[in-house]
Amino acid sequence: MLDQAKTPLLDALKAYISSSHAPFYTPGHKRGRGISAKLAQCFGTKVFQADLPELPELDNLFAPQGVIQAAQELAADAFGASSTWFLVNGSTCGITAAILATCTAGDKIILPRNVHQSAIAGLILSGATPIFVNPQYDPLLDITHSMTLEGVEAALKQHSDAKAVMIVYPTYNGVCGDVEAVANLTHKYNIPLLVDEAHGAHFAFHPHLPKSALTAGADLTVQSIHKTLGALTQASMLHVHPSSRIDIDRLSKSLQLVQSTSPSYLLLASLDAARQQMATQGKHLMSRTLQLAEIARSKISQISGLSVLELNNPIPEFVDLDKTRLTVNVSGLGLTGFAADEILVELDVIAELPSLQNLTFILSLGNTEADIEKLVQAFTTLATEYKQDKQIVTSRTYNNIAPLAITPRQAFYAPTETLPIEQTCDRICGELVCPYPPGIPILMPGEVVTVEAIAELQKIQNLGGYISGCADSSLKTLVVITGHW
């Protein structure tokens, strides 16, 4: 039984802060003595004393034998994994590495069309061929759920040579599909289930939260510890199930390809501390968070013109809901989510994600009662002072998978040209185009550009959304593959 109260990596870093040695190693600011005066005024100097490289006593991220190894073993024990890797390049590098570890050029991987753009990067780097399954879409709520079990099964039957299945669990809105059923189905084909669990790092620490992906049988899961727990931004973890079908050596090599060789010890130590906090206090902290979330949900749902996403009748693509994720539909006020978001910012409330009809808020262990009061008051003001007497139809008109003409890797390396967007229909897209957040592309390299896809992007932009990934964010032009394939 490991002692979860220990923080080996944080303790080693703390010891170095008090050391009086002469530093002749990177970084150049030499433990904070060379930083800008303005930077020191903003952050103080102590944090820079801990900004250290891989010194002997601090271990090595890619070949851990000391304090990093000890910290990762404690994390594996706390999260129910057989092995855990600390990630300093965010969940992005973990998802990319998961694909690299399971697929080579030409291999098929089954995944939902609403994957994060980091999965597209994994497809490009690995050369894998994506077999996309459309997730279920609720046009009334304007919310995308998970893939159906039937959709995954049909893809596996048609592509029985696939090397892996990847799912998103939970979605940005906190929607959880039946990951256990998908895991059981995937394992019948003796291939691994990979899970983008970026928004579910807290699931393992309270019985009233959805079950963690590892508990449900996933072979590999990637979690953004910084998104819902107490680590610094960009600090994440990758966990492997005790009975995983993953080649561990290949996974380690894949992570070396996509992680920095100069890892931030501030990020690594924050992972160690966040794990210790949740392992020793997690249930209490999550109970408090769930209580605050319920107060917000109850009060906001009583405001005229607003509705809150709830799980009323479970279906396979929506079997559970993360109650710490609050999604509020504002279309009843005659406002888009983008317009409501701008107003709330003026009222000192900032949402995680605005979309066409909804605003999504992340409630975590760092939120307070005062935050909830301000949130409820802001929505009260929004409903009484900004309500518009008009009907806005904002559900998507485009929710289909565009034809994949060539693989994302082929498209990435193909010659391209830039054309006025109205001239790009039926051409092969040469770039990633997606509303951000959440970073789910509507067009990706290798897909055929359709009239519907362009119309959806333009609608999102006209309603106040932000388009990223493409060279021309104004959407006047689009990069497409030159010639015919």
Using CA atoms in the order 381, 383, 386, 392, what is the torsion angle rounded to 10 degrees? Answer: 150
Query: Please, which residues have CB within 8 angstroms of residue 299's CB and are 6 or more apart in sequence?
Result: 376
Q: Is the pTM of this model over 0.75?
A: yes
Q: Pick 7 or 117 by higher pLDDT.
A: 7
Residue of 338, 335, 329 whose CA lies nearest to 303: 329
Average pLDDT over residues 458-468: 84
Dihedral over Cα of 357, 362, 363, 366: its sign: negative
Neighbours of 136 (CB within 10 A): 19
How many angstroms separate the CA atoms of 380 and 265, rounded?
43
How many angstroms separate the CA atoms of 260 and 268, rounded?
12
pLDDT in tens, 243-263: 999 999 999 999 999 999 999
Statement: residue 440 has pLDDT above 80: no
The pLDDT of residue 374 is: 98
Binning pLDDT at 50, 70 and 90, where does residue 484 land?
A: low
Using alpha carbons, list the distances in angstroms from residue 432 to 113, 258, 294, 414, 429.
13, 19, 38, 14, 8
Q: Where are the domains of the chain?
A: 8-278, 282-385, 408-481
Residue type, 131: I
Bridge pairing between strands 143-144 and 137-138: antiparallel
Statement: residue 319 has pLDDT above 80: yes
Residues in the chain: 485
Q: What percent of the chain has pLDDT over 70?
A: 96
Binning pLDDT at 50, 70 and 90, where does residue 377 land?
A: very high
Statement: residue 190 has pLDDT above 90: yes
Statement: residue 22 has pLDDT above 70: yes
How many angstroms separate the CA atoms of 307 and 141, rounded?
10
pLDDT in tens, 125-156: 999 999 999 998 888 888 889 999 999 999 99
191: left (phi over 0), alpha (psi -120 to 50) or beta: beta
Binning pLDDT at 50, 70 and 90, where does residue 398 land?
A: low
Torsion angles phi and psi, residue 250, rounded to 5: -70, -35
Using alpha carbons, list the distances in angstroms from residue 376 to 285, 352, 379.
22, 16, 5
Average pLDDT over residues 282-299: 98
267: left (phi over 0), alpha (psi -120 to 50) or beta: alpha
Strand partners, 85: 238
Radius of gyration for the alpha carbons in the chain, expressed in angstroms and rounded: 23
Q: Is it true that 282-385 and 408-481 share their CATH fold?
A: no
Q: Which of 17-21, 147-151, 231-235, 332-336 has the lowest mean pLDDT?
A: 17-21
Architecture of the structural domain at 8-278? 3-Layer(aba) Sandwich (3.40)
- Could you give the angle at the alpha carbon of 389 between the alpha carbons of 388 and 392, nearest 5°? 80
Statement: residue 395 has pLDDT above 80: no
CATH number for region 408-481: 3.90.100.10
Q: Which of 25-29, 396-400, 434-438 has the lowest mean pLDDT?
A: 396-400
> SS3 of 80, please?
coil
Work out the angle between the directed axes of helices 8-17 and 265-301 (0-180°, nearest 10).
Answer: 120
pLDDT in tens, 71-103: 999 999 999 999 999 999 999 999 999 999 999
Residue type, 171: T
Residue of 140, 109, 120 whose CA lies nearest to 434: 120
Residue of 145, 210, 142, 138 whose CA lies nearest to 171: 145
Architecture of the structural domain at 282-385? Alpha-Beta Complex (3.90)
Average pLDDT over residues 218-234: 98
Average pLDDT over residues 438-449: 85
How many angstroms separate the CA atoms of 343 and 33, rounded?
43
Torsion angles phi and psi, residue 45, rounded to 5: -110, -20
Statement: residue 469 has pLDDT above 90: no
The pLDDT of residue 437 is: 55
